Amino acid sequence: MKIVLLDGYELNRDLNWKLLRELGDCSFYNRTSEDNNEILERISDAEIVITHKTPLNEYVIGKAHNLKYIGIMGTGYDVVDINSAHKNNIIVTNVPTYASDAVAQFTISLLLEVVGQVGLHNQLVHNGNWLKSRDFTFWNKPLFELSGKTLGLIGFGHIAQKVAKLGHAFNMNVIFYNHHSKVVPEKWIKQVSLDELLQQSDVISLHVPQTPTTIDLINKTTISKMKPTVILLNTARGSLINESDVAEALNRGRIYAFATDVVQHEPIRPENPLLKAKNCYITPHIAWAPFETRERLLGITVNNLKSYLAGNLVNVVD
């Protein structure tokens, strides 16, 4: 059985793929471009394909005649044309909750950077600014308390629920919007409409998948309903926001700050308007990347395949 791993660089650097090698004849690639011909050249005779970010579109899936199984090394499955896979009787699995703790932790890290400015002031101290200060303290950007502020979560899956608990620990008021009603046992959290969330929140954090209905969810219209002092966070998908609209809002003072771990095109492109926007914090898609998280991702990816081979399907994308 031929197994092809298309883009394992992030995991290959410090994790052991021995368990996957035991399941078949493995070909490992650190990176594969989005070129259809290159992808097909590598998977043409493969029954099993494992991908992280390399896209498998309708054309590629239709030409890969031996393909029986696609394992996505991640939660989001927008890199695979799911309808085409189903039409070709190909099983697709993902890894739904491997990074919930890490992404929730990172979401709060972004928020704390905006309100606490640790990175900036650490750099200023190392640059000698404190040495030159006449006073025992100084600060170059506004600092804020989270206590009493309202945290609004758009989406309420595993990650958002963990972010909610972290926000509550900071004595924040927590509200959420979800596309369907959710029963929550906690008395300190409230489900609201999207308009209510946009209007009431001091901090808005995005936690929904990329779908046709969530692309450009944050745009001029939704921004116009927010407080101009709002802090916007995104650790979900870059396409959830209209980057030009958010950059314009930042530059006009219509949003106080935007902190994101994701952008529409990754790696980020030089023309991305967020790079020159005021009070914009960008990290290179690392919320998922702690060693423990990636180790868990590898283990679940292998287990998904082992379960498939044993005829016991788990984590199937419907």
Give the residues across from 48 on adjacent strands: 3, 69
**Under DSSP, is residue 301 helix (H, G, I), strand (E, B) or coil?**
helix
> In sequence order, what DSSP letters do the residues of 137-194 get, joined into one string?
---SS-----TTPEEEEES-SHHHHHHHHHHHHTT-EEEEE-SS------TTEEE--H
Report how far residue 84's alpha carbon sits from residue 82's, in angstroms, rounded to the nearest whole number: 5
Closest by CA position to 81, among listed 121, 116, 110, 54: 54
Asked whether 263 and 272 are in contact (CB, 8 A), the reply is: yes
Residues with Cβ within 8 Å of 290's Cβ and at least 6 positions away in sequence, in order, are 102
Query: What letter would DSSP give residue 218?
Result: B
| Enzyme catalytic residues | 237, 266, 285
Instruction: Identify residue 190 by its one-letter amino acid code.
Output: K
Closest by CA position to 217, among listed 237, 235, 189: 237
